[in-house]
Amino acid sequence: MSTKRVLVTGASKGIGRAICQRLIDDGYAVVGVARTRPADLPNGIEFHTADLADTQALEQFLASAMAEPFYGLVNNVGLVPIANLEDIRIEDLYRAVQLNVEVAIRFSQRLAPAMKAARQGRIINIASRAALGKQGRTVYGMTKAGLIGMTRTWALELAPFGITVNAIAPGPIATEFFAGANDQNDAHTQALLASIPVGRMGQPEEVAHATAYLMDQRCGFVTGQTHMVCGGLSIGAA
């Protein structure tokens, strides 16, 4: 079994928690970080609490976590500002860019040198199908599209060092995160769910499965890609 260390941000619930559980099951030494500590942590996880929107707290956590190098990084933490174009608040734009984009840059910058030295590593950015467009998601979609763009660029920069960089773009996944950002009684939400070709929402474990594939050492010939886990929603209109 592998004892490679993997760091997961936004690890307390939903997709992040499912990723932690799957990677632990696959034999990785998982370090999770989130703003709050859940009561039902996966067995075996090394969990830290830190508000990653606070630059000082983020840097303090990274300093404490870098005693040993990491093989993998999952940039999962994020927030979803919801507003139509004319209602976008600039403060929400800045907050989303900081948490959804800047945090991923900071974590990747800090972990990449040790990965380079080891000549191996995996960086996985959790993006979203909303990067392709979704009503009320100007800011969120922009940040997730930014993650996809960074994924492609980092893949080129890090490939010579044996490091792969890929993105996963979930569609509607049955989590508290999705429920909090999508009114189940809203006509747009109902239409979205009705248009999923496989006829159901996804489960966090299905995103975790895609993460496990991209994290695997045997997946060294896949880099710079965006893997949709969306039940066919991204192609449904076609």
Would you please indicate which residues are annotated as catalytic (active-site) residues? Answer: 140
Instruction: Give the DSSP letter of residue 20.
Output: H
Query: Long-range pairs for 62-67 at CB < 8 Å and ≥24 separation?
Result: 62/106, 62/107, 62/110, 65/7, 65/31, 65/33, 66/110, 66/114
Instruction: Give the DSSP letter of residue 99.
Output: I
Three-state secondary structure call for residue 187: helix
Question: What does the alpha-carbon distance between residue 188 and residue 114 come to, in Å, rounded to a whole number?
Answer: 45
Question: What does the alpha-carbon distance between residue 164 and residue 136 come to, in Å, rounded to a whole number?
Answer: 32
Phi, psi of 86 (to 5 degrees): -75, -10
